Structure 1
Amino acid sequence: MANTIFHKAESRGHANHGWLDSYHSFSFANYYSPERMNFGALRVLNDDTVSGGRGFGSHPHDNMEIISIPLEGDLEHEDNLGNVAVIKKGDVQIISAGTGVFHSEKNKNPNQQVQFLQIWLYPNKLNGAPRYDQVSLDVKDRHNNFQQILSPNPDDEGVWVQQDAWFSLGKFDEGFQTKYQIKKPGNGVYAFVLEGDVMINGQALHRRDGLGIWDTDQLSFKADSADAEVLLMDVPMEF
């Protein structure tokens, strides 16, 4: 029998700093819940909106896999490895912080907000060499399909990560049904609904709800609204 944990959108931590409006699915900064420290190797899932021209100044990270997924607008990145880049919807960015990296992120456009997901994974190897990568994916390939956007294999589609984790994004027509096979024994899936309404293993989910499922090898999925959009994060439960 699968185990599940359900996080309604409105139960998330929330911090509005004016220029930054952030929702936290797991404990982060001033939001702390002992029941919501992580889901396996998934440590942080932040749903951020940044005002025009504003952003995060240079700050350090180490021994964390940091994934950014833009949902709207253009996010500019700069780091001490010499990378300067802009990511937008359809792109996925990875910073494998390893022994340490400094980076900054800001909204490139002065008159438009940027929305993005910032996700942290615990790595399966400490103190590796810091690494940056980004890819641009064809969003049409996620229509009625879970498009892989991250994996542990550098040769696979998407960015690669220092963890036995696979991320997939899908956008679905109402009534579409499918199964998702969990990639590795011992992994669980945290599903995060970006838009619309879906049913996963019999649980109804709405916009920005989250559902963690483990101790099973597959999920049943059904879209209950037009243009339902879902991120699946397939991660080790022990690491």
Structure 2
Amino acid sequence: MKTILHSADRRGHVSFGWLDSHHSFSFGNYYDPEKVHFGMLRVLNDDIITGGSGFGTHPHDNMEIVSIPLKGAIEHKDSTGTHAVINENDVQIMSAGTGIKHSEYNHYKDKTTNFLQIWIIPKKRNIAPRYDQKTFNPQDRLDKFQTVVAPDDPNAVWINQDAWFSLGKFQNDFSTSYLLKKPTNGVYAFVIDGNVTINGQSLFKRDAIGIWDIDKIDITANTNAEILLIEVPMH
């Protein structure tokens, strides 16, 4: 088993007034040679956007971009003609492929929105750009993991990679295990809220741990807690 610990207070941070963002990996002006990626996981940004603000139209290519609102809603427009609102309990994915332009704004004028923006390096390059979005029942992740992104699950949003995203909300003292889908994959566990122990390591809100060379991870909630697991190829 190999592990890497990313504590919440060691993340990169930028504040532009309208945007307050913490970066788990090197991004923009934040660079840490030890935090460039975790396998095929390239970006995990924890963004807080003030009312009515957002990211103007900008391009991407050859990246799988996942958005998970934790609070509020994001309004999305892109060059494929898609115009959608991503709410809490929604998960959105955009395969940038050969190239796409999009904008993301806080849907609300009078309250902040907090969402996770996650980039995964794709399995196949230069595919046709595509968009997918689904709403998930939060009751289906109580004391268990709910798969929200997968290459092989029709109930999840599809991703152009052998990667799986799972959300779980656990009650205090609940314990469970997560079995990896592929032996060559690793898992990046990001604590959205609460305090948990994963394979003996205590983690608090916004802490993360990457684990690989293992077939499962063991999780215990020390308080009521919410976790995002991102399983990705390591090579």
Q: What's the TM-score once normalised by structure 2's chain length? A: 0.99
For residue 87 of structure 2, what is the aligned residue in structure 1?
88
Aligned with 2:230 (options 217, 230, 233) = 233
Q: CA deviation at 1:156?
A: 2.7
- Letter of the 1:3 partner, please give it: K
- Letter of the 2:17 partner, please give it: G
For residue 39 of structure 2, what is the aligned residue in structure 1?
40
Superposed CA offset, 1:40-95 (max 9, x none): 00000000000000000000000000000000001100001000000111000000
Superposed CA offset, 1:117-143 (max 9, x none): 000000010000000010000011000
For residue 23 of structure 2, what is the aligned residue in structure 1?
24
Number of residue equivalences:
235
Cα distance in 2, alignment partners of residues 203 and 59 from structure 1: 39
- Letter of the 1:229 partner, please give it: E
Aligned with 1:202 (options 200, 203, 207) = 200
Cα distance in 2, alignment partners of residues 172 and 89 from structure 1: 18
- Letter of the 2:148 partner, please give it: I
For residue 173 of structure 1, what is the aligned residue in structure 2?
171
Cα distance in 2, alignment partners of residues 139 and 157 from structure 1: 14
1:101 aligns with 2:100: yes
Q: CA deviation at 1:158?
A: 1.4
SS in 2 for 1:140: helix
RMSD of aligned residue pairs (Cα, Å): 0.6
Aligned with 2:186 (options 188, 192, 212) = 188
Q: CA deviation at 1:108?
A: 1.1
SS in 2 for 1:178: strand
For residue 71 of structure 2, what is the aligned residue in structure 1?
72
SS in 2 for 1:180: strand
Aligned with 1:221 (options 219, 222, 225) = 219
Structure 1 stretches (4+) deviating beyond 4 angstroms?
none
For residue 151 of structure 1, what is the aligned residue in structure 2?
150
Superposed CA offset, 1:98-153 (max 9, x none): 00000000011110100000000000100000000100000110000110000012
Report sequence identity in percent.
58
Cα distance in 2, alignment partners of residues 133 and 94 from structure 1: 5
SS in 2 for 1:162: coil
Cα distance in 2, alignment partners of residues 26 and 167 from structure 1: 18
Cα distance in 1, alignment partners of residues 12 and 95 from structure 2: 25
Superposed CA offset, 1:8-46 (max 9, x none): 000000000100000000000000000000000000000
For residue 133 of structure 1, what is the aligned residue in structure 2?
132
- Letter of the 1:233 partner, please give it: I
Q: Give unmatched runs, 5+ long, in structure 2.
A: none
- Letter of the 1:173 partner, please give it: Q
- Letter of the 1:216 partner, please give it: I
- Letter of the 2:215 partner, please give it: D
